[in-house]
Amino acid sequence: MSRVCPLTSSKRYACTGTRLVDSYLYTSALFKAAESRGTVLRLAQAVGLKTSGGRVTAVRLTDEELACEHVIIASGPWAGESESWLGIPIPVEPLKGEILRMALPGPAPVCEMESGDVSLGQRADGLIWVGATEERCGFDMQPSDAARDKLLAAAIRLMPAMSAARIVQHTACLRPATSDRLPIIGKAPGWDNVYLATGGRKKGILLAAGMGQAMADLIAANGRTNLSIDPFAPGRFATRSAEEASR
Ligand SMILES: Cc1cc2nc3c(=O)[nH]c(=O)nc-3n(C[C@H](O)[C@H](O)[C@H](O)COP(=O)(O)OP(=O)(O)OC[C@H]3O[C@@H](n4cnc5c(N)ncnc54)[C@H](O)[C@@H]3O)c2cc1C
């Protein structure tokens, strides 16, 4: 490794041919593409569902109702809020992650570097991104000094030149994490027109295209898709709850 990138401190670390997607640009591009095909984007908070039998007929917003034919619950770390709307278990919880963006005065690393506790590499903004922590602490999204110090120390161990780098930005975000670490993709049990697409955890951006394709297939082809999504069925939690209750 030190032959590939002289900045690193050790030969022990792996270097792979990583390709990077800018998640902000990716999401914006998807919205633009959807709008160009007639999608209307509304930014509003959903506070509940209006139902009739096994169907959802409208999504309740804070000040109005939106009539619907199908509903996809894709509210990330907040997906668990929909448990009470649908009466099914949706065991998603927030997994906090913090990242430092740093300016390095000298030459940047020529590749992505990763040790067991930190990864770093240069991004399109020219900065070295150092990430990421993992912490279960509810919906707290405040960057913390403890996480900053932990990331810095690990970055310097991996690449000593980072001791001269300046922190430009320190962010904290939440990942949607399920109790079995697998995503939740599929039809909500007991409902005719409700689907779940969440629980991407640390790979939600990578999984987004597949999850979106699965949703489109299920809705357009009346519950069928060629993608292998059975292990991610939302009903698996209801089955487990029933099994646990009968023990
Ligand atoms: C530090 C860090 C690094 C990461 N690195 C990677 C990586 O390298 N590769 C990768 O693939 N993934 C990565 N991830 C994970 C990835 O960011 C997530 O898995 C992904 O963003 C989840 O997407 P989502 O759409 O399910 O949830 P979110 O992106 O959280 O979106 C959910 C949306 O639903 C909205 N919402 C919630 N409740 C309501 C409501 N009641 N009404 C209306 N809107 C609502 C929220 O406001 C939010 O906009 C990383 C995450 C973190 C924190």
Encode pLDDT of 202-226 as tens digits. Answer: 999 999 999 999 999 999 988 899 9
**In the predicted model, is pLDDT for residue 16 greater than 80?**
no
Indicate the top mutation candidate among 169, 202, 207, 232 to test ligand 1's pocket, ranked by most ligand atoms within 8 A of CB: 202
Q: What is the pLDDT of residue 4?
A: 60
**In the predicted model, is pLDDT for residue 98 greater than 90?**
yes
Q: Answer whether 198 contacts ligand 1 (Cβ < 6 A).
A: yes
149 is a domain residue: yes
**In the predicted model, is pLDDT for residue 146 greater than 90?**
yes
Instruction: Look up residue 135 and give its DSSP letter.
Output: B
Nearest CA to ligand 1 atom 38: 75
Strands 166-178 and 92-103: antiparallel
How remote is the CA of residue 4 from the centroid of ligand 1, in Å? 34
Last residue of a domain, one of 116, 143, 176: 176
Q: Are residues 143 and 98 in the same domain?
A: yes
Distances (CA, A) of 13 to 76, 124, 166, 206: 32, 23, 24, 23
106 is a domain residue: yes
18 phi and psi, to 5 degrees? -70, 140
DSSP line for 38-53: T-------EEEEEEET
Query: Which two three-digit tokens encode residue 111?
Result: 């590749």
Q: Are residues 71 and 107 in the same domain?
A: no
Q: What is the pLDDT of residue 20?
A: 83
Over residues 73-85, mean pLDDT: 97
Q: What is the pLDDT of residue 239?
A: 72
Residues 66 and 41 sit within 8 Å (Cβ to Cβ): no
**In the predicted model, is pLDDT for residue 94 greater than 80?**
yes
Least confident of 2-6, 70-74, 241-245: 2-6
DSSP line for 3-48: TT-TTSS-S-SB--------HHHHHHHHHHHHHHTT-------EEE
Q: Answer whether 45 contacts ligand 1 (Cβ < 6 A).
A: yes
d(CA 64, CA 57): 13
126 is a domain residue: yes
Amino acid at 197: A
Residues 76 and 83 sit within 8 Å (Cβ to Cβ): no
Nearest atom (ligand 1) to Cα of 173: 53
Last residue of a domain, one of 150, 176, 202: 176
d(CA 39, CA 138): 33
**In the predicted model, is pLDDT for residue 11 greater than 60?**
no
Instruction: List, for residues 104-138, the tens digit of each pLDDT value.
Output: 998 888 788 888 889 999 998 999 999 999 999 99
How remote is the CA of residue 77 from the centroid of ligand 1, in Å? 7
- Please state the domain count of the chain: 2
d(CA 133, CA 145): 12
Last residue of a domain, one of 176, 203, 233: 176
Q: For the domain that residue 164 is a member of, what is the CATH number?
A: 3.30.9.10
Q: What is the pLDDT of residue 73?
A: 98
